[in-house]
């Protein structure tokens, strides 16, 4: 009796611990089995390309030898790169400003009119989101052509006769910002429509009782409540805007005189790889672009804690 008790009491917790550990291991194995397809893709198209480009950026890919920082030096000494950086910054500043002001204004205004009107208008604002990538550039090349544009009255009034007049008149950064705003802002207006309609009604009621009019309600109560999400939208747009490629790349569709082959940074990385066959220089510029995006992502994840990860 006592012998059994003596042997049982010290082993029982150990057994339990071992069983728990085994269960834990089984859980871990099962989790990784379920994660396997995703992890393969994550490594193939997330981790590996970034690491590979980083490694390649230190290699002279034409002579196949270690190159130190020479690729970076080459990129920085290419006079087109700082010019492209300035172009992209202008584009980003205009686009992010348009997006923040436009989306906030339209969302708040829609929240102050009747529900049916708001729903219909929101759908109209949202549908251009279907016009993306190459189609948005093609559509806007028509819209900016005074010969065929539905806005031709406006364009003629501004004294523009040909597309090239319109494009130089507005400026390329502004043209690309218009294209990007046209297709990306409606989705956000829908999102903020949802966010605004879920704000607590007691607060609105209280403010109204205190005599706040629609304008004060929008600026003093609603705007501060969606401010964080607006900032998130701004940061995400900023990060996406730095990677601009499609819009300038496709300007050549309007004819050789409109071609802009080295307007943005991503275009320069493309030029290095495809026109010059210099994968090392391409990798160096890509690495800098990806690093900027990753730093922005880290700030969003750890400093602002917008997304929940537990």
Partner 1 sequence: MADARTPPFRLNLGRFVVYAVLLFAVCFYGIPLLWLLLAGTRSQASLFADPPFTLGTWDSFIATWNNLTTYNNFQIVNWAMNSLIYSVGGVALSLIASIPAGYALAASEFRGRKLILVVTLIAMITPSTAVVLPIFLEMNLLGLNNSYAGLILASGFFPFGVYLTYVYFSTSLPKGVMDSARIDGANRFELFTRIALPLARPIVALVAFFSFIGIWSNYFLAFVLLSDDKLYNLPVGLTVLISTSGALSNLPANDVPIKKPEVILAAILVILPVLLIFIVAQRFVRSGTLSGAEKG
Site for partner 1 in 127-186 (CB under 8 A): 127-135, 138-143, 145, 147-152, 162-163, 182, 186
Q: How far is CA 220 from CA 72, 213, 216, 223, in A?
A: 48, 10, 5, 6
Alpha-carbon span 192 to 196, nearest angstrom: 6
Per-residue contact flags (x/-) with partner 1 for residues 290 to 309, judged by CB under 8 A = x--xx-xxx-xx---xxxxx
From 180, 217, 246, 281, residue interacting with partner 1 (rule: CB under 8 A): 246
By CB under 8 A, is residue 44 in contact with partner 1? yes
CA dihedral sign of residues 178, 181, 186, 190: negative
Measure the CA–CA gap between 242 and 275, rounded to whole angstroms: 22
Residues 101-130 binding partner 1 (CB under 8 A) are 105-106, 109-110, 112-113, 121, 123-130
- Which of the residues 58 through 97 are near partner 1 (CB under 8 A)? none
Choosing from 14, 38, 79, 210, the residue that interacts with partner 1 (CB under 8 A) is 38
Is 128 within 8 Å of 186 (Cβ atoms)?
yes
Contact pattern for partner 1 over residues 265 through 294, marking x by CB under 8 A = -x--xx--x-----x--xx--xx-xx--xx
Cβ(179)–Cβ(97) below 8 Å = no
Nearest CB to partner 1, comparing residues 8 and 206 = 206
User: At which residue do the structure tokens 């893709």 appear?
Assistant: 41
Q: Is residue 282 within 8 Å of residue 270, measured between CB atoms? A: yes
Instruction: Kindly state whether residue 206 participates in binding partner 1, applying the rule CB under 8 A.
Output: no
Q: Are the CB atoms for 104 and 223 separated by under 8 Å?
A: yes
Least spacing, CB of residue 301 vs partner 1, in Å: 5
Q: How far is the CB of 265 from partner 1 (least distance, A)?
A: 10
């Amino acid at each position: 009796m006592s012998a059994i008790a003596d042997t049982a009491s010290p082993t029982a917790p150990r057994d339990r611990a071992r069983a728990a550990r085994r269960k834990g291991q089984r859980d871990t194995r099962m989790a990784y089995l379920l994660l396997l397809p995703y992890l393969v893709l994550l490594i193939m198209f997330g981790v590996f390309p970034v690491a590979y480009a980083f490694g390649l950026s230190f290699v002279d890919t034409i002579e196949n030898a270690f190159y130190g920082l020479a690729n970076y030096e080459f990129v920085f000494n290419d006079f087109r790169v700082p010019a492209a950086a300035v172009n992209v910054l202008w584009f980003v500043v205009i686009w992010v400003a348009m997006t923040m002001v436009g989306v906030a204004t339209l969302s708040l205004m829609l929240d102050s009119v009747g529900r049916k009107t708001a729903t219909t208008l929101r759908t109209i604002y949202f549908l251009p989101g279907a016009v993306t990538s190459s189609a948005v550039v093609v559509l806007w090349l028509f819209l900016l052509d005074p010969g065929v544009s539905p806005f031709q009255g406006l364009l003629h009034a501004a004294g523009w006769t040909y597309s090239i007049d319109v494009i130089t008149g507005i400026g390329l950064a502004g043209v690309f910002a218009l294209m990007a705003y046209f297709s990306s802002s409606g989705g956000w207006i829908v999102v903020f429509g949802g966010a605004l309609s879920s704000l607590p009604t007691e607060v609105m009621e209280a403010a109204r009782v205190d005599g706040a009019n629609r304008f004060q309600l929008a600026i003093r109560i609603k705007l501060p409540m969606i401010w964080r999400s607006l900032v998130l939208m701004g940061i995400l747009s900023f990060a996406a805007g730095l990677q601009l490629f499609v819009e300038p790349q496709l300007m050549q569709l309007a004819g050789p005189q409109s071609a802009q082959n080295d307007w943005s940074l991503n275009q320069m990385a493309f030029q290095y790889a495809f026109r010059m066959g210099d994968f090392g220089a391409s990798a160096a510029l890509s690495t800098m672009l990806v690093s900027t995006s990753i730093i922005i992502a880290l700030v969003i994840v750890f400093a602002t804690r917008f997304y929940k990860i537990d």
